[in-house]
Amino acid sequence: MSEILIMGNMPDKDLGILKAEFIVHRAIEISNFEKFLVEQGDKISAVATTGFVGVHNNIIEKLENLEIISSNGVGYDSIDATFCADRGIIVTHTPDVLNAEVANTTIMLFLNSFREFSFNEAYLKSGRWKLEGMAPYSRSPDNRIVGMLGMGRIGQEIASRLSMFNPKILYHSRSPKDVPYTYYKDLKTMARDCEVLICITPGGIKTNKLVNEEILTALGPTGTLINIARGSVVDQTALIKTLEDGRLGYAALDVFESEPNVPDELIHMSNVTLLPHVGSATFETRAAMGELTLNNLIEFKRNGKVLTPVPECLNLKKI
């Protein structure tokens, strides 16, 4: 029977399904992980992990007979997929099943940023309505110019769900897509031309701090930055600086540079909406992601195929 190493947490139901197929080792239950890798690493042919936890190259190197890493989440910047592909290890992820949920979360960030519902609820609950009268007006989300940094699976779903607010949609990515929106080759020009910049690219080296001080300044004093991608995509220090000195108007963030650490400066700003990386975090969507994570492993074990390999592994002979 094949042996699998599980990194991070996994729901009991999913664990039960894996136990029927594999001999399961859970990293969180192994008291001396280094010793385990040395003594039993060669028995492990599969790893199950998550986009948050990933698996480090140092560990992969010690799993001599590793064939597959199945990661729960569409973003896999915590796994060096090129390193894996070079060693013939297939990496899979969970695209598409979370598009709708992440798009919903983005719409909520967009709405909260414009209509300030968090502020308004606190205004009511703290008794200010009774004491001070009606809450101040907020900005309308309608008819905005929205620039999308990234127009992939989730980006397209966000753009589609935004349509009820009658936006003009612009987008930037490395190549144009077959979508009815205006393509910008240059991110800074798009930032200057839009009122809201929504980040929905992968994380990792290629997008690291793509949204820097120059881009944030171009977005401007009435501009809104929404980051639902990865904390690494935005220069967080520059974000704080431009919000503090008024060069940027508003921000709505689901992701941060060093999670779960969120700088106090951001926490105390009234023009900022903050969520603890819950883009896809509903029971329904997480169940679908868990199912796809397991199905990749089971399909590979039974038939040598996987359902959703990452692009870096598409050319591996095995799949």
Residue ranges that bind ligand NAP, judged by CB under 6 A: 74-75, 95, 98, 102, 150-155, 173-175, 200-203, 206-207, 228-230, 254-255, 277, 279-280
Residues 6 or more apart whose Cβ sits within 8 Å of residue 135:
119, 120, 123, 124, 128, 129
> Of 63, 57, 48, whose CA–CA distance to 84 is shortest?
57
* Minimum distance, C-beta of residue 83 to ligand NAP, in the bound complex (Å): 18
Provide the 10 A C-beta neighbour count for residue 99: 21
Q: In what order do the strands lie in the sheet with 182-183?
A: 182-183, 168-172, 145-149, 196-199, 224-227, 250-253, 272-274
User: Closer to ligand NAP at the Cβ: 135 or 274?
Assistant: 274
Contact indicator for 251, 224 with CB cutoff of 8 Å = yes
CB of 99 to ligand NAP, least distance (A): 7
End-to-end CA distance of the chain: 21
Of the two residues 3 and 213, which places its CB atom closer to ligand NAP in the complex?
213
The residue to which tokens 């948050």 are assigned: 52
Closer Cβ to ligand NAP, 203 or 223, answer by number: 203
Residues, the chain: 319
Give whichever of 37 and 154 is closer to ligand NAP, judged by the CB atom: 154
Q: From the CB of 249, what's the least distance to ligand NAP, in Å?
A: 22
Q: How far is the CB of 1 from ligand NAP (least distance, A)?
A: 33
Contact 295, 21 (CB under 8 A): no
**Rounded least distance, CB 120 to ligand NAP, Å:** 24
In angstroms, the CA 267 to CA 125 distance is: 19
Produce one character per residue of 247-257: b if its CB has 16 or more CB atoms within 10 Å, e if not. bbbbbbbbbbb
Catalytic residues: 230, 259, 277
In angstroms, give the least distance from the CB of 111 to ligand NAP: 16
Question: Is the CB of 68 or the CB of 102 nearer to ligand NAP?
Answer: 102
**CB closer to ligand NAP, 43 vs 188:** 188
Structure tokens at 253: 């963030």
Q: Is 150 exposed, middle or buried (0-12, 13-18, 19+ CB in 10 A)?
A: buried
* Chain position whose Cβ is nearest to ligand NAP: 152
